[in-house]
Structure 1
Amino acid sequence: MLRMQSHTLADGRGACAREVMVAGIRTGYLESGEGPPLLLLHGNEGTAHDWDAIAPAMAPGHRVIALHLPGFGITDPLPDARPERVAGFVWDFADTVGLGRPAVVGHSAGGLVALHAALQQPARVPRLVLIASAGLGRLIDVALVLKARTVLGDADALVRRLPGISEVSSLVLSAWYFRQPWRVPLSAWAYRFSLGHSRQFMEMSLQALRGSVGWTGQKSTVLPRLRELSMPVLVVWGALDNVIPAWQGCHALRHLPDGRLQLIPVAGHMPHLEASAEVLEALRPFVNAGSGGKEAGWARGIPSRAG
């Protein structure tokens, strides 16, 4: 059964907020536009609304689907939240809503899910975009290691439930994630503040973090398998990322048969929120080229700018 309601994106244009059953799992997603499919996968401590600045710009000419991953938004959690299992769920979702061969974009933990999805069914992914992706190395912010492996994670979840603390905590985290917080839309700030009041959201975020981060850093890395990806891959990274260092994206490029890299100079871990224009400058021609358009201004490995 499919349920649908309207949702307003960052630029004021409408999107459909939809709900569908996928293998017995209630699943929510946002849909806009028509044309070749584009599937957006958010990271941990995020939802489909993380793409509200990207989706409307890509909707002209594309059927854009921003999925609430299991346990986030209105999507129910999976019994097994390993990235490869979530990737299998993504393909079940794609089959349910009629996405044949979507270009796939993943951020952070969603990037690792996107990588597993591409490895599982490479023929169905014409183009892959990884934004500050997890799974390309072990190193990660030590604060996340402590949060994942010590009682600090539980303490943080408890403290955030106190009146006013959630907003303060969100501001502190944003100062760490963003380098240009004044460029993040007010609607995104408001939404992220509201997430801090959701007990399920906070518990799922901590569970996902503990499942992916150990004392030595990221538990799962697909770096040795990147050579299996024959499709064009665009790697986008904020040069000032404090969470996952940008050099991991540079290193991953050496393992990709057809890889491109775009570094955003003054951006942190969530460039699609604080530097959406720069991300779109790289994303739009790359994805459009896979839809029959002309990909201009790209050199092998590193994009060049025309004009």
Structure 2
Amino acid sequence: MDAAGSYNGDVCKINPSNLTIRGVNGRPHIDAAGNNAIGKGLWVLEGVGTTIENVELSGAQVPDQNGAAIRLDGRDLTLRGSYLHDNENGILTNSDGVSDIVIENSEFAYNGRGDGHTHNLYIGNVNSLVFTGSYSHDARIGHLLKSRAKTNTVSYNRFSSSTERPSYEIDLPNAGTSYVIGNVIQQPAANDAATMLAYGEEGATNPGQDLYVVNNTFLNDDSVRGTFIGVGSGVTTPVLMQNNIFAGTGEATSQVNAIDKTNFRSLLPPLVNRLAFDLHPLPGAALINAGSAVGVSAAGVSLAPTKQYKHVAGTEDRPAAAVIAIGAYAAAQ
């Protein structure tokens, strides 16, 4: 798709499999402009193995108030370098149990109707989600990321809000083997739910119940309440919390048997510029060379962070160190 074109109202149901849609000569913007495809959204994907790159999608609204910029009714989706905003849902997928969803270097903002049932992203009970190098912010009451996938890899992203009032920053309501590594996770003072990362709170019905929360920087701007990691009562496997910064008010986790390993708690951690989201440790800060060696998951997957989030919606290599720093960022080089 050529960015020079005009695509307002160009909604469609997309049937072919193994199709790549790529924006060129800039980023084309497709606004629903009051239209919808088969009552479901802006682009409704029916095929298998669709790849979408470098597009901007907005304005998805449908009569049942659950429309999406991208609605996956087929199987498997890869999204890269795109911007989805001001829709009822950014992405809404089916729950086929077999799809693999990959989302890289994309931005999601101002999605949701304000009813708490529509979100920046809502991934159904698919096989797997990989969400990396992306920026999800300012959902309207809904979650910044909600996924019922059996396996979730959420790494090197920024979840934050400044103008809207979101609910959970990350919601994994049915548990599942989940890796939350190297993210910036900020809760604004005005929020609709005090928990930042929720796990298994609607029933731990996925096969895996192992959650690995490693080298993240959590920032709670709510000075009254907060739970950094909320875990449902049906989750019996201890959550691994390692090398995280928990900044602000609240308890680290609601799970009494969680593994709490070399995490840093402070109302004001020693970061370069908290307000500007420069979250590298200050020179000489106690965060540097203070982490513990990161191992592997029960399935043998490495938990060591190799990258760090780079704004806007990107990543960069994380500098190696003899002893890892605590948090989502290594010491500035």
TM tier, smaller: 0.3 to 0.5
Q: Please tell me whether Structure 1 or Structure 2 has the larger radius of gyration of its CA atoms.
A: 2
Task: Output the TM-score relative to the length of structure 1.
Answer: 0.35
Structure with higher helix content: 1
TM-score scaled by length of structure 2: 0.33
* RCO higher in structure (CA 8 A, sep ≥6): 1
Higher strand share: 2
